[in-house]
Amino acid sequence: MALTMQILILVLLPTVFLLPPRAEAGEIIGGRKANPHSRPYMAYLEILRGNRRSHCGGFLVAENFVLTAAHCNGEDITVLLAAHNVRRDEETQQRVSVQHKIPHPGYNKTSRENDLMLLHLVEPAELIDAVDTIPLPQAGQAVEPGSMCSVAGWGRTSPKTKTNILHEVELEVMSDEICQNLRCYGPVMMMCVGDPNQDKASFSGDSGGPLVCDRTAQGIVSFGKKNGSPSRVFTRVSAYVPWIERKMRGLRSPGPHVERLGPLH
């Protein structure tokens, strides 16, 4: 157990000083490469904040809407769809500008409460085999503790190893009681995922990416604890379905263009 904790601490240290309080960047560690385009809802977000560029994950919930984490906000966001390797030209890729960024009005960057954001694309994505939407859960729907769900992202695959290829990992949903005991914050708007007895990953996936349970987007990657706990905290999507649907209804107007082919640089 002591060795396990040492490994987790070593994995966490490289990112601790680069992130907001109580937050960690998303990484897929202990997972595997995803089959190309096996997750057609996945979106790669390139984010511009001043002179700094970063990236997050996201997922397509309607032809012209991507859902992600509110802490992935920036001055400018570009969405890349149908990408397996984000640094290679792939015929399937669609690059789409964001027309409106709608972070949840209750988002708290310190506690990460209400950590979700809706992105309204300038034009609907072209739905093909490699680009498709993922269903949202029913409002208030709970995920059974012990359920095995999956997370995917383009984050690091080890503390020092970056990747441009989509990776995935399966993780177990914790009960609300265990979540509270681990001090992973309130179970109403958040959910904890990860087996404390396994070292599958230091984090669950790229920030903003979906926690997929039974082909439904049940969570949004939010943050991981800094105390070495293997648990990860996700925004519980079912708590926000009415807000998401209301915002999408109010912003269904097409805009300028979708650029086909080529990765983001």
Distance of CA 64 to the CA centre of its chain: 18
Q: DSSP labels for 221-259?
A: EEEE-SSS---EEEEEGGGGHHHHHHHHHHT----S-EE
Residue 135: DSSP 8-state: P
Backbone angles phi, psi at 139, to 5 degrees: -55, 130
Q: Which of 118, 23, 20, 117 is nearest to 70 (CA)?
A: 117
- How far apart CA 8 and CA 2 sit, in angstroms, is 10
Dihedral sign, Cα of residue 138, residue 141, residue 146, residue 152: positive
Which positions are annotated as active-site residues?
71, 115, 207
Mapping DSSP to helix (H, G, I), strand (E, B) and coil, where does residue 8 land? helix
